[in-house]
Amino acid sequence: MSERDEMIEKLRGERDSLKKELESTIHERDALLCEVNRLKFELQMSDLKRLKEEETSDVR
């Protein structure tokens, strides 16, 4: 195998490694975005509940 071929194989290996790392990072990012959206939803629901409770107490 020539030096050029060895370099090509090394670069392919590095590329494959970087692709795997990128996929892992993308999955982690997506999971974090889901968690952020879930927390935003919970916060909105909590705010709505609080507003409803305030409304109910104001009516009395």
**Residue 41 scores a pLDDT above 70:** yes
Q: Which residues form the domain of 51?
A: 1-60
| Alpha-carbon span 42 to 50, nearest angstrom | 12
**Residue 57 scores a pLDDT above 70:** yes
Predicted pLDDT at 55: 85
Hey, which bits of 1-60 come out as E strands? Answer: none
Predicted pLDDT at 59: 66
Predicted confidence (pLDDT) per residue in 1-40, tens digit = 899 999 999 999 999 999 999 999 999 999 999 999 999 9
List the structure tokens of 8: 């090509």
Predicted pLDDT at 22: 98
**Number of independent structural domains in the chain:** 1
The residue assigned the tokens 């975005």 is 33
pTM over 0.75: no
